[in-house]
Amino acid sequence: MTVSTMRLTGVAVACALISTQALANDPTLTNPAISAVLDGYYQSAERPMAERVEGFGLGHTELALSANIDDMFYGKLTAIVEIHDGETELGLEEAFIQTLAMPGGFSIRAGRFLSDIGYLNNQHVHTDSFSDRPAAYRAFLGSHYFDDGVRLSYVAPTDLYWTMGVEAFKGDSMRAEDEHGERDFENLGVYTAFTKFGGDIGDNSSWQAGLSYLRNENGRMTAAEEHDHTEPEVHDDHGHDHDHSHSAQYTGENTYVADFVYKWAPSGNYKYQHLTVSGEYFRVTDFKPFEEHHDDHDDHEGHDDHGHGEGGKDYQEGWYLSSVYQFSPNWSAGLRYGEVDTQMMHGDHFDPQKLKETEVSLAWHHSHFSTVRLQYTNQKGTNFDGIEDDNVITLQYVMTLGAHGAHQF
């Protein structure tokens, strides 16, 4: 099997309701935690902006190594093996250090890791209750946004859980398309700020809500005369961009995210029965070229209400709502609905696009370390990258070997 050029990218887990000190429990340099996650699937058709292809394939197969470096630092390394068009890609998704003993609730993480914006983004994809991330994540964050950078976070000493943080990243995977290679990109391209708060409701329920902001210095499109946008790679059997498969498909200078999650379990015991309801909303602004003056021309298609013509909407947006119910120790069922509204530049005007996805999943968990999932997806596209309405069936397994850290809230 051909081995493509090694692709180094970054990902991390920042436990939302677990303090930094929780990383410092058992593993040490002489006894590190070593784990592997095996992800395999069969899928009946391709989905827009998704990494899984039609037929049999390997998904997000993960190899991880983590340990306390000493009493001051924790470190983690995660490699990902993925298959695209018959080629094997090895990516480095986590390679970071994190402080363990900073005073006052502060901590610093540096290296390659997942941004802590939103709810799902700072979680490994194998912990998801569905085979792919929501369409909004795939469109605006490349499924899961990881990068090289640094994070400063703070957990407040309050009865209500409250954390906040700021991040700075290179931002290569968040750059707007530059087909002609003539643009000068900022080397420090992405800055984020986030806050999350949550608590308990009696003995059975808990909740968390968050607000996030991402500033992308390289997110605005180039001028229309320089931009000849082609259909995305999902429609070209040989057009997948292996070096940027995790790049955001639609960008802008400003991205705003609001998220929430509610969890219920009898007496707080999640082992036998629990319900999780979550949702997120994305709005992306300032994506049109500076050179474009959309007040100087008439509407190209004559459909202002729908965003046709040179001006169109001045934002792109997406959202999802998910509910997952584990009704026994070994079975869970999930329902998720999401939409994404984007705009595609064609010459001197923008055409609106919309994608709607309804997903139903049924999963069997023989143990905490093994999951077999059957998922049905109904996708409806309105001028969305040429996608037609379709029904997709996915059969997936996710198996964990070795010591693996606790999942987040």
pLDDT 10s digit of each residue in the chain, 409 long?
A: 333 333 333 323 333 333 343 444 557 767 788 999 999 999 999 888 888 889 998 888 999 999 999 999 999 999 998 777 777 888 899 999 999 999 999 999 999 999 999 999 999 999 999 999 999 999 999 999 999 999 999 999 999 999 999 999 999 999 988 766 777 888 999 999 999 999 999 999 999 999 999 999 999 887 654 444 444 333 343 333 434 457 899 999 999 999 999 999 998 788 889 999 999 999 999 988 866 444 444 444 444 443 344 556 889 999 999 999 999 999 999 999 999 999 887 767 788 899 999 999 999 999 989 999 999 999 998 777 767 788 999 999 999 998 766 667 7
Query: What's the pLDDT at 223?
Result: 66
Query: What's the pLDDT at 305?
Result: 42
Name every residue whose Cβ is closer than 8 Å to that of residue 341 and which is 6 or more positions away in sequence.
Answer: 313, 316, 317, 318, 352, 353, 354
Q: Is 6 domain-assigned?
A: no
| CA 376 centroid distance within chain | 20
Q: Is 397 domain-assigned?
A: no
Domain tally, the chain: 1
Query: What's the pLDDT at 368?
Result: 86
Q: Is 224 domain-assigned?
A: yes
CA distances from 186 to 8, 218, 235, 348, 360 (A): 20, 7, 31, 26, 41
Q: What is the CATH number of the domain that holds 307?
A: 2.40.160
Nearest-CA neighbor of 362 among 388, 331, 406, 399? Answer: 331
Q: Is 11 domain-assigned?
A: no
Q: Is 33 domain-assigned?
A: no
**Phi/psi of residue 374, each to 5°?**
-115, 125
What beta strand segments (E) does 102-189 contain?
106-114, 146-155, 161-169
Residue range(s) defining the domain that contains residue 260? 104-390
| CA 139 centroid distance within chain | 9
d(CA 137, CA 120): 9
**Phi/psi of residue 226, each to 5°?**
-95, -5
Q: Is 396 domain-assigned?
A: no
Q: Is 377 domain-assigned?
A: yes
Tokens of 314: 């001045």
Q: Is 98 domain-assigned?
A: no
Query: What's the pLDDT at 215?
Result: 97
- Model confidence, pTM: 0.84
